[in-house]
Amino acid sequence: QKEVEQNSGPLSVPEGAIASLNCTYSDRGSQSFFWYRQYSGKSPELIMSIYSNGDKEDGRFTAQLNKASQYVSLLIRDSQPSDSATYLCAGRYYGNNRLAFGKGNQVVVIP
Amino acid sequence: SQTIHQWPATLVQPVGSPLSLECTVEGTSNPNLYWYRQAAGRGLQLLFYSVGIGQISSEVPQNLSASRPQDRQFILSSKKLLLSDSGFYLCAWNRQSSYNSPLHFGNGTRLTVT
């Protein structure tokens, strides 16, 4: 079964620090990956998409994809209290309409 | 721009009652449509997805059903709710024919079955 795993527990970071989240996937046929942010009681919102090996930066967010090692990561620089949320990693496999979601990682930014 | 509408926002229903949740997408045509459920403290569970009118794929056998009567309308239904149906129901869409197209979620319906 194609899976996306986020194994880290809740992450607490001081305001202004870098938050680092990791995600691994089981199928080398994976094609595209997405990071979503979900505030408590709200729906997930897309923050980053990445399709090629390497880094992709958007503001304070950087997504990293390493297809050889089958992992995707998200870095949040200069973390703010408003970044406190659950971050979901998702991957789509070639020939599949569906996204496989990880269970999410909670991030708490401490002022 | 594209928008997705989902209603109602919250719903409290007794066990054994019927359910109908509706979702519509504006600003695009022929989208893929999805229903997800998120139980408290759990991940996203794909329930149904549709690539076109009348075309529904079920991911999890259960007492729920989905229909797509129009291109941009997706409905989640149940004839008799169970306690275990409680959760946060999310409708989502993405573009067809693009593996790089992310999912865009509606605001969700929080269902409590009592």
Summarize pLDDT for B43-56 with one digit per residue, the tens.
Answer: 899 999 999 999 99
What is chain A's Cα-based Rg?
A: 13
A interface with B, Cβ–Cβ < 8 A, is: 31-32, 34, 41-46, 49, 51, 88, 90, 92, 94, 97-99, 101-104
Residues of chain B with pLDDT under 50: none
Number of H helices, E strands in chain B: 0, 11
**B102: cis peptide before it, omega within 30°?**
no
For A14-71, how does the pLDDT look when each residue is reduced to its tens digit (9 = 90+)? 999 999 999 999 877 777 999 999 999 999 999 999 999 999 999 999 999 999 999 9
User: What H or E segment, with its residue span, contains residue B13?
Assistant: strand B10-13
Q: Do B105 and A101 touch (CB under 8 A)?
A: no
Give the per-residue pLDDT at B110.
96
For A71-93, how does the pLDDT look when each residue is reduced to its tens digit (9 = 90+)? 999 999 999 999 999 999 999 87
Distance of alpha carbon B91 from alpha carbon B64, whole angstroms: 14
Which three-class secondary structure state does DSSP give residue A104?
A: coil
Give the per-residue pLDDT at B72.
96
pLDDT band at A2 (very low <50, low <70, confident <90, very high): low
Q: Is the pLDDT of residue A102 over 60?
A: yes
Residues written for chain A? 111
Nearest CA to A83 out of A28, A23, A38 is that of: A38
CA angle B94, B95, B97 (to 5 degrees): 130
pLDDT top residue among A75 and A100: A75
Given CB atoms, is B51 within the 8 Å cutoff of chain A? yes
Give the per-residue pLDDT at A1.
57
